[in-house]
A and B are shown apart, each in its own frame.
Chain A
Amino acid sequence: QKEVEQDPGPLSVPEGAIVSLNCTYSNSAFQYFMWYRQYSRKGPELLMYTYSSGNKEDGRFTAQVDKSSKYISLFIRDSQPSDSATYLCAMSPTGTASKLTFGTGTRLQVTL
């Protein structure tokens, strides 16, 4: 069993839809949770960063962490075609200057 599980998709939604992306994990030591966005032929770039449990909002993006269920989510409101990318969850017990464990990524396509 992988430490981090993520539905690979692909997920196709119409423009303006609310998108929900999720990861589950098994290692209770994870304290730092990140969502990266990766466009085709590019390196991943950070979208959201959360420490421990709770919610964090940044514009159209909301990250949620439920440590009791070992479940994290990323919500995208009013999705745009420019949101079409692969979304990777990542986690670490000790912060980003250490080993990050990634999910396999969910490919999202937002159609006009």
Chain B
Amino acid sequence: EAQVTQNPRYLITVTGKKLTVTCSQNMNHEYMSWYRQDPGLGLRQIYYSMNVEVTDKGDVPEGYKVSRKEKRNFPLILESPSPNQTSLYFCASTRTGQETQYFGPGTRLLVL
């Protein structure tokens, strides 16, 4: 089944404790992206990647890192999480010419 998977789905952590949210797609998509979704603010792009080893900042990259060493994986790293990073995170992927970005199921993060 073609899909985007994210892990973990739910995470509670404390300020300053490094964490990684994984994202994997099995559709051989070149383009992958991370979003955060907050009430009243909608979906905002954090980072995106056009292909392996090619990443770039989105609208809200502060406090996040990404890497794209393999085509299928695009992990999101929070080196020192803070409470303002409490949010719902979505990974998405697509390829040129497709009509949609395919979204993962989301990761709900709470930073205490």
Seen from chain A, the residues whose Cβ lies within 8 Å of a Cβ on chain B are 6, 8, 34, 41-46, 49, 88, 90, 95-100, 102-105
Contacts and interface: CB of A to CB of B under 8 A. Distances in A.
Interface stretch (B11-19, B66-74, B76-84, B90-98): B90-98
Nearest to B106: A43
A88 B103 contact: no
A42 B6 CA distance: 12
A97 B50 CA distance: 8
A34, A44, A45, A99: residue with the most chain B Cβ atoms closer than 10 Å: A44
B22 interface: no
Nearest to B40: A104
Contacts of A34: 99-100
Given A34-B100, A43-B90, A95-B96, A100 B105 contact: no
B98 A96 contact: yes
Contacts of A8: 40
A88 B43 contact: yes
A95 to B, nearest CB: 7
A49 B94 contact: no
A104 B100 contact: no
B105 A42 contact: yes
A90, A97, A98: residue with the most chain B Cβ atoms closer than 10 Å: A97
A99 B58 contact: yes
A92 B43 CA distance: 14
Contacts of A103: 42
